[in-house]
Amino acid sequence: MAKITFLEAIQQAQAEELERDPRVFMMGEDIRCNVFGTTTGFVERFGEERIRDTPISENGFIGAAGGAAMVGMRPIVDATLSSFLYPAMDQICSIIAKSRYIYGGQAKLPLVIRSCMFYGNSNAAQHSDRPYSMFMNMPGLKIIAPSDPADMKGLLKAAIRDDDPVLCFEDGTCWMAKADVPDDPDFLVPIGKGDVKREGTDLTIIAIAGGVPTALKAARQLAADGISAEVIDPRTLVPLDRDMILKSVRKTGRAICVDPAHRTCSAASEIAATIVEQAFDALRAPVIRVTTPDTHLPFSPHIEKPLYPTVDRIVAAARRIVGAPVAPQPA
């Protein structure tokens, strides 16, 4: 057990799996020069054949990861920013997500596509995407979005060992968070299992990725006012741990979904719909989504920062649904 950052957790997970399995190799733009610190020492340790710098050709090298996986390799693609997945939608959606299905199980595609979500940092609209919910609408892709160093390491290792394609979304706002992380080389966090990050009784906050630390701060603030919030981190978006979410909402009767993605068809929307469909009888208040509105992200920090889910917005939503019956909305 050692205290390491989220970024160091990524580095460790990859190093351990590269060490463990010769079929694992890495591809991406500028990974040898170790831009973010997730490939520290890799070229020296694993060689240039297994640590490959690619041309700026996302559709090419992400599709090539699919081809390499089909012939028995286990590629890790570092796609840098999640915004750079868009040029590769062709290969991700038409080849990687569908080949196993379309060929009746003849193909196996064990590969991981990592990308980080830089947002809240004046990178403007083309570099601030949180696109996981777009991929949730495409069957055939497992999706992980961890929020702390231990989950990051354990889930990434599980993803690399998984026989299905996994998209790994790494929240930039979590990068520098430090926590105790097991150093057991077989430490894994199972894909598809959520985690109760804080127990509570009055309401359930289901938060995604960087929304989790924000939700935990909100829960601490609410506790000071005598409101007990349970915070759930699904950790995996596909498959989604619906049972854990429903169990918690059945206990508390209230739910807030916190999601840094844009509102419409977000992970929060899917979770809210699940709750309303399957635990309607347990609800004592409307399900609230606290998300980023459906506008683009501007460069200027003064107008960018307030767009994301904040502690204040979560606390306000919690106050609204706890206590007296909710007043009718003004027309």
Partner 1 sequence: MAEHIMVLPQYGMGMQDGEIIRWLKAEGDLVAEGETLVEVEAAKTTVEVPAPVGGTLTRIIAVEGETVDVRAPIAAIETA
Partner 2 sequence: MHEGQAQIGDNDRRLEKYRRMQRIRQFETKAENIHAAGEIPGALHTYAGMEASGVGACMALRNDDYMVGTHRSHGHPIAKGAALRPLMAELLGKVTGICKGKGGSMHLSDFSVGSLGETSIVGSGGPVAAGAALGAKLQGLDRVALCFFGDGASSEGAIHEGMNLAAVWKLPAIFVCENNRFGMSTPTSAAVAGAHVADRAHGYGIPGVIVDGQDVDAVEQAVREAVDRARAGKGPTLIETKTYRYADHAVNMGRDLTPRGPEHDEWVGRDPIQLYRTRLLQDGVTETALTDIEEAVAQEVADALQYARDSAYPVFEEAFDHVFVDRLPIPDDVRAHA
- Binding partner at 175 among partner 2, partner 1, none, C-beta below 5 to 8 Å by kind: partner 1
User: Catalytic pick from 127, 262, 296, 302?
Assistant: 127
Our finding on whether 106 is near partner 2 (CB under 8 A) is yes
Answer yes or no whether residue 63 interacts with partner 2 by CB under 8 A: yes
Beta bridge partners of 5: 178
Partner from partner 2, partner 1, none contacting 123, C-beta within 5 to 8 A by type:
partner 1
Query: Which amino acid, one-letter code, is at 203?
Result: L
Binding residues for partner 1, rule: CB under 8 A, are 7, 36-37, 116, 118, 120-123, 127, 172-173, 175-176, 301
Residue count (the chain) = 331
Pick 30 or 164: Cβ nearer partner 2: 164
Q: Return the ∠ at Cα 268 (arms to 322 and 165), rounded to 5°.
A: 145
271 interface partner picked from partner 1, partner 2, none, CB below 5 to 8 A per type:
none
Q: Pick from 99, 128, 214, 236: which binds partner 2 (CB under 8 A)?
A: 99
Least distance (Å) between residue 276 CB and partner 2:
15
End-to-end CA distance of the chain, in Å? Answer: 55
Look at residue 97 and give its three-state secondary structure. coil
89 part of the interface to partner 2, by CB under 8 A: no
Q: Output the smallest distance, CB 172 to partner 1, in A.
A: 5
Shortest Å distance, C-beta 211 to partner 1: 15
51: enclosing H helix or E strand: strand 51-53
Write phi, then psi, for 282 (nearest 5 degrees). -90, -10
Name which of residues 142 to 171 contact partner 2 (CB under 8 A).
142, 163-164
Catalytic residue check, 262: no
Between 194 and 210, CB nearer to partner 2: 194
Give me the residue label for tokens 């990687």: 96
55 near partner 2, rule: CB under 8 A: yes
Pairing of strands 203-207, 178-181: unpaired
Phi, psi of 205 (to 5 degrees): -110, 115
Q: Is 309 in the site for partner 2 (CB under 8 A)?
A: no
Task: Quickly list DSSP for 164-229.
Answer: S-EEEEEEGGGTT-EEEE---TT----TT--EEEE--SSEEEEE-TTHHHHHHHHHHHHHHTT--E
62/134 with CB nearer partner 2: 62
Are the CB atoms for 256 and 214 separated by under 8 Å? no
Residue 36 structure tokens: 């973010």
Closest CB 96 distance from partner 1, rounded Å: 26
- Site residues (vs partner 2, CB under 8 A): 25, 49-50, 52, 54-55, 57, 59-73, 75, 90-91, 94-95, 99-108, 139-140, 142, 163-164
